[in-house]
Amino acid sequence: MEAKDIKAVYFIGAGGIGMSALVRYFIHRGLVVAGYDKTPSELTKHLEKEGALIHYEENVDMIPHTCKDKAHCLVVYTPAIPAEHQELCYFRENGFEIQKRAQVLGTLTRQMKGLCVAGTHGKTTTSSMCAHIMHQSHLDCNAFLGGITKNYGTNYIVSDSEYVVIEADEFDRSFHWLSPWMTVITSTDPDHLDIYGTKEAYLESFRHYTELIQPGGALIIHRGLEMKDHLQDGVKRYDYSLHEGDFHAENIKIENGEIMFDFVSPIENVPHVQLGQPIPINIENGIAAMAMAQLNGCTAEELRYGMQTYTGVDRRFDFKIKTDKLVFLSDYAHHPKEIYQSARSIRELYKDRHITAIFQPHLYTRTRDFYQDFADALSQLDEVILTEIYPARELPIEGVTSRLIYDRLAPNVEKQLVKKDDVLSLIKSRSFDVLIVLGAGDLDNQVPQMTKMLLSSEN
């Protein structure tokens, strides 16, 4: 279907964080936008206010009339939707053009200069950092992000710029639909083994992704990754890390809750970069974001200003309370390496304080594959409270529970298993010094209530 023929777009899984950015894009273009999602959320409420017609019952009769015209309606779905979904089956059986979210993003990377960020972890923060730097620079950009940026209160940035910043998702090999002008690869620690099967297949998927970078563009890859890249002629390769590589940091200062460093680059060094969101892991994320922005023409002053004014992403090391007596934050970390980095960062920031984590494991398969790694990462903290596993798209696996992690925590770690429904009463019944909620499941929905409880107990 030609773009000019599309008058309506129907989303199956409209409320997903990645899908919702596309919903906003098509609303902005003035098309009829409708869709289905399993449950209402704050995000779907916002989308409805912005003009999307969303319903929450799997029912073909609830699809708007305009979206039943196959000559003019594009259907977009997320791979998390089951193949037997009634509405998806209806569109398939009636010959509609159906595309994955990643296919639509792929089209945009061929129409504009796609600045993509891929990797097992770090991609939401790095892509939102890059988008903020670009958006406030003379270059500007569009952006489709995997989290709600605190700077803009949305996961979608629109402009007339030729650049589009995209978070490149490896789940279901979605990023193979993209044609990046430039891409960062932050990490390739194996994940989604329910899809890939083996570590080798996972790494091969990233290798293939590097083949898709357009000639004249660039790969900016974290130093020391296990994957092998394979670039077309005319694609430049740069590496980065905290202390080494084409792009890296020097003179790092972490003091009084602030972080400052010098950005070292083959193009132009930028001294005195201050992190607006002062978290140690954001030094590396910032190096990657600045590298991609600088390679496209952002000036030293724009890089410095962008980094200083970047305020983060919801659920990414997201501070809710920060006082002398109590620190409370939530973090989306759900892979062992993310948990490790998050725990290391919070330990670095609060060296002498008692740190408690409430962790809701995400997926039975991920828990089965990485329970020892989760235990090792969490053992950096003083206390770990584990809830039951959040299943998302999966059915239970016999013998796979949070106890696999619990039993392998270091002996010196205080530990507890609780039901998710009992977390609020637990918080009400005791005091904390530094508390972090970890995971990509639905425990985060309780964070606003937790914040109120903790604030009232502090006063």
Structure tokens at 30: 């003035």
290-315 pLDDT, tens digit per residue, is 999 999 999 999 999 999 999 988 77
Angle between helices 281-295 and 300-309 (to 10 degrees): 140
Within the chain, which residue ranges are assigned CATH 3.40.50.720?
3-100
Q: In whole angstroms, how far apart are CA 47 and each of 25, 57, 367? A: 11, 17, 33
Structure tokens at 76: 């977009």
Report the alpha-carbon distance of residue 166 to residue 398 in Å, rounded.
38
> 112-309 maps to which CATH number?
3.40.1190.10
H helix or E strand, kind and range, residue 339: helix 336-349
For domain 3-100, the CATH superfamily is NAD(P)-binding Rossmann-like Domain (3.40.50.720)
CA 341 to chain CA centroid, Å, is 15
The answer to whether the beta carbons of residues 74 and 10 sit under 8 Å apart is yes
Q: How confident is the model at residue 51 (pLDDT cuts 50, 70, 90)?
A: very high
Residue 85 identity (one-letter amino acid): H
Within the chain, which residue ranges are assigned CATH 3.40.1190.10?
112-309
CATH class, 318-458 region:
alpha beta
* pLDDT computed for residue 26 by the predictor: 93
Q: Where are the alpha helices (DSSP H) in 296-331?
A: 300-309
Within the chain, which residue ranges are assigned CATH 3.90.190.20?
318-458
Residue 36, SS3?
strand
Structure tokens at 147: 């989290």
Residue 1 has pLDDT above 60, yes or no: no
Residue 397 identity (one-letter amino acid): I
217-254 pLDDT, tens digit per residue, is 999 999 999 999 999 999 999 999 999 999 999 999 98
DSSP 44-56: HHHHHHHT-EEE-
Q: pTM (2 decimals)?
A: 0.75
* pLDDT computed for residue 192 by the predictor: 64
DSSP 88-137: HHHHHHTT-EEEEHHHHHHHHHHHTEEEEEESSSSHHHHHHHHHHHHHTS
Mean pLDDT of the chain: 92
Residue 443's φ and ψ, nearest 5 degrees, are -60, -30
Cβ-defined contacts of 75-78 (< 8 Å, 24+): 75/9, 75/10, 75/12, 75/99, 76/9, 76/10, 76/11, 76/12, 76/19, 76/22, 76/100, 76/101, 76/104, 77/11, 77/12, 77/13, 77/101, 78/12, 78/13, 78/16, 78/18, 78/19
